[in-house]
Amino acid sequence: VTAKGKSEAKQSIHLPYIAEIPTMDVTKATDSESMNVMHNVFEGLYTLGEDNKLIPGMAKSYDVSEDKKTYTFHLRESKWSNGTPVTAEDFVFAWERAVNPDTAAEYSFFFFDIKNAKKIYNKELPVDQLGVKAVDNKTLEVQLEQPVPYFINLTMFPTFLPINEKYFKSKGNQYGLEVDII
């Protein structure tokens, strides 16, 4: 994901790691090496800024319902590295994939505060019943089972990162496993 605006300069990041990164699949990563790299190349709804203060990432702002169970995120303009826009649907796809029992994501339990997530994971409901929807391209609505005061903090975790569905499907089971397929 790139930031708003354009840069003609080639950008690189060099990080010293002693182990090979097992995956860049945000849904399946469980190791610190992969997650550290993901924090440097992907951006979630919120992130940590100076002094570890929560700051907007892909979300420029959010609203919370009076009962504290519905979060509406307003996404900023941004593009994937292939030039396609990042949309609310990219978050919906990624989060539905995370709770889908067929994916077997080890960190799916982080989503269990979202409406129907646990029931979906336990195969009691279909994946499309997850309490997350794209209101439009730049608006993501999340319904929770109960108020969760730390929900915004959860959105910083790599499993909550978006996935470009079209690109993901074009790579099949190789997504996130090769250097040029992330």
pLDDT of 181 strictly over 50? no
pLDDT (mean) for 173-179: 67
Q: What is the pLDDT of residue 147?
A: 98
pLDDT of 37 strictly over 90? no
Q: Considering only 1-5, 27-31, 108-112, which range has the smallest mean pLDDT?
A: 1-5
Closest CA to 92 of 162, 39, 169: 162
Q: What is the pLDDT of residue 3?
A: 45
Q: Which of the two residues, 15 and 77, has the higher pLDDT score?
A: 77
Q: What is the pLDDT of residue 157?
A: 84
Q: Which domains does the chain have, with CATH numbers?
A: 32-164 (3.90.76.10)
For 62, phi then psi, to 5°, come to -150, 155
Q: What is the pLDDT of residue 142?
A: 99
The pTM (predicted TM-score) of the whole model is: 0.82
Q: C-alpha distances in angstroms, 75 versus 67, 99, 136, 157?
A: 22, 22, 10, 17
